[in-house]
Amino acid sequence: MMKTTCTILAMAIWMPASLAFSPTSLTSRLPLSSFDFSLNAENGLNGLEEKKRVMVLGGDGFCGWPTSLYLSDRGHDVMIVDNLSRRKIDLDLGCDSLTPIASPETRVQAWKEVSGKEIQFHNVDVAKEYDLLVQLIKDFQPDSIVHFAEQRAAPYSMKTSKTKRYTVDNNVSGSNNLCCAVIDAEIDAHIVHLGTMGVYGYGTSGGEIPEGYIDVILPGGRESNILHPAYPGSVYHATKCLDALLWQFYQKNDQLRITDLHQGIVWGTNTPQTVLDERLVNRFDYDGDYGTVLNRFLMQGAMGVPLTVYGTGGQTRGFIHISDTARCIEIAINNPPAKGDRVEIFNQIAETRRVRDIAEMVAKLTGVEANFIPNPRQEAAENELDVSNRKFCNLGLDPITLDTGLFDEVTEIVKKYKHRCDPKKILPASFWNKKRAEECATLDPNSIELKDKEAVEP
C-alpha cells in the first residue's frame, strides 16, 4: 500500500520564508499523547508573515473550531460564523459529542481568558440568512473566508429523503450564497473551501489521482487539462462535486479567488490549543452517522467493543490528522491564487490506508477483535487509492501519519468521557439503498455492550 507522505520532498524544495509553514506558535510539532503546552510570548506570526483577517464559516464544528483557535493563536484576526446546525442534528439523532463541548459563547470567552485573544462569534445561517452574511463580510472585511459550513456526514445525507434534500439545500445554497455575498460586498476575499477526496470517487482509477485537474485527450486527439471527473458516492459527496462547478463558474465569471481543498478523513480530537482549557475541548463523534472511521475504531477499542468493519474492510481512503487540517488551512490562506487564476485545488491528505489494515492496527493495540459486518454503503468492496499531495508538501507541510503512538490522545479522551457513550449509537443507522438496508437488518443496536459496564457509569 502506497503511503502518501512527502517529508523528503518538502525538505528538498526551497521556498520564500513568508510562504513556508512555520510553526512558531504553541502548535509546534506534536507529541499528541502528551499535550503539555503553555502560551508564551514568542507565539504567533514572525515579522515576515502577514496577519490576515479570517472569517471561518462553520467554525463551531469538528474541523472549524480547532482551525479557528490555531489561526487565532498564530496571530490572525478570526471571526466564526456558525448556525449551530450540527448541535441541532445531534438532538434530532438523540446523540451527542462524546466530549462535553461548551457553548460557542463560553468557548470564545475561555479562549480570551487563556490566550488574551478575541474571536468573534456570529450565529448566522449561511444557506438562508443571505443579507446578514453580506453585512458581516462588509463589516469584517476579511482577507480570507474559510468555508467549513456544510452538512458533512455521508451516512446522514443518505438516511432519508428529508436528509438528502437538506444536505443538497444547505450545502449548495451555502456555497452559492458565499460567492454572491463576496461579489455583493465588493471585496476581493479569498475563499478557501473544504471539499473531499470523495469527489474523485472511490473506485480504482488505475493511476495517481492528481490535484483537481487531469490531462485528457479529447476525441480528435485534442489535449486538454480539465476538472477531474466527478464520481460521488453519496448525496453528501455529490454536493461537493456541485460546489466544485460553482467555484469554477464564479471564478470564470467574476474572477473570484478560490481554493478548494479535497480533504481526506480526519482523525484525532484535540490540538495543542483545545487542550488548554476543558471549555475548549473539540467535539468527538463516535456514532454510526457522524463518527469517522479511525476515530470510531479507536473509541470502540478503548471501550472494548468489537470494531465495526464494513464489508471486507477493503476500502482504501485518505487520512489526515486534525492538527494538519488547521496547518493546511493556514498554508492555503497564505498562498491564494491570483485574480483571474483558475480555482486552486489541493489534495489535503497525509496518506492512504486500507480500512482493514487500520482495524488490525487498532485491534493489536487494544486487544479488541475486528467484527466484519454487512456494509451499509453502496461502494466498491475493495479499491486502490494513489493520491498526489505534492502541493501542500512543496509548501512546507510535513504531515502527521498514522502511528499507534499518536492514537493515545484519542484513547485518553475516550476513557475520560466514556460515561457519555451510548452504545446503541455505535452501529450504522443509515443505509444507501433498500438492498443495503435489508442486508444490514440483522444488526441490532441493543446488542452492543461496553466491556466494563460499571466503569462507564458516571
- Strand blocks (E) in 294-391: 307-310, 316-321, 344-348, 351-354, 370-373
State the nearest-atom distance from the C-beta of 264 to ligand NAD, in Å.
Answer: 6
Task: Assess 150 for contact with ligand NAD (CB under 6 A).
Answer: yes
Q: Is 308 helix (H, G, I), strand (E, B) or coil?
A: strand
State the nearest-atom distance from the C-beta of 260 to ligand NAD, in Å.
Answer: 11
Active site (catalytic) residues: 196, 236, 240
Task: Assess 85 for contact with ligand NAD (CB under 6 A).
Answer: yes
State the nearest-atom distance from the C-beta of 366 to ligand NAD, in Å.
Answer: 22
State the nearest-atom distance from the C-beta of 148 to ligand NAD, in Å.
Answer: 4
Out of 43, 167, 196, 347, point to the residue binding ligand NAD (CB under 6 A). Answer: 196
Stretch that binds ligand NAD, among 53-61, 69-77, 156-164, 359-367 (CB under 6 A): 53-61
**Contact partners, residue 98, CB within 8 Å, separation at least 6:** 284, 285, 286, 299, 413, 414, 417, 418, 420, 421
| DSSP codes, 210-252 | -SSEEEEEETTTEEEEEEPPP--SSHHHHHHHHHHHHHHHHHH
Question: Cβ closer to ligand NAD: 130 or 450?
Answer: 130
Task: Assess 181 for contact with ligand NAD (CB under 6 A).
Answer: no
Out of 96, 125, 143, 211, point to the residue binding ligand NAD (CB under 6 A). Answer: 125
Task: Assess 243 for contact with ligand NAD (CB under 6 A).
Answer: no
Out of 127, 145, 332, 397, point to the residue binding ligand NAD (CB under 6 A). Answer: 127
Task: Assess 83 for contact with ligand NAD (CB under 6 A).
Answer: yes
Task: Assess 286 for contact with ligand NAD (CB under 6 A).
Answer: no
State the nearest-atom distance from the C-beta of 434 to ligand NAD, in Å.
Answer: 26
DSSP state of 49: S
Question: Cβ closer to ligand NAD: 49 or 285?
Answer: 285
The CB density around residue 244, as the number of other CB atoms within 10 Å, is 23
Site string for ligand NAD, 291-320 (x = CB under 6 A): -x----------------------------
**Contact partners, residue 77, CB within 8 Å, separation at least 6:** 51, 52, 53, 54
Angle between helices 293-303 and 408-416 (to 10 degrees): 60
Site string for ligand NAD, 250-269 (x = CB under 6 A): -------------x-xx---
Report which of 203, 202, 192, 199 is spatially closest to residue 228, judged by C-alpha positions: 199
Report which of 405, 416, 314 is spatially closest to residue 358, judged by C-alpha positions: 314
What is the rounded CA–CA span in Å between residue 135 and residue 168?
A: 25
Question: Cβ closer to ligand NAD: 84 or 456?
Answer: 84
Angle between helices 64-74 and 322-334 (to 10 degrees): 60
Question: Cell digits for 224?
Answer: 486538454
Question: Is the Cβ–Cβ distance between 429 and 155 less than 8 Å?
Answer: yes
Out of 54, 56, 61, 134, point to the residue binding ligand NAD (CB under 6 A). Answer: 61
Stretch that binds ligand NAD, among 60-68, 216-224, 249-257, 368-376 (CB under 6 A): 60-68
Question: Cell digits for 402?
Answer: 498514522
Pseudo-torsion of CA 152, 155, 159, 162, nearest 10°?
10
Out of 20, 39, 45, 84, point to the residue binding ligand NAD (CB under 6 A). Answer: 84
Out of 174, 301, 313, 423, point to the residue binding ligand NAD (CB under 6 A). Answer: 174
Question: Is the Cβ–Cβ distance between 163 and 156 less than 8 Å?
Answer: yes
Question: Cβ closer to ligand NAD: 43 or 68?
Answer: 68
Residues engaged in binding ligand NAD (CB under 6 A): 58, 60-64, 82-86, 125-127, 148-150, 152, 170, 174, 194, 196, 263, 265-266, 292
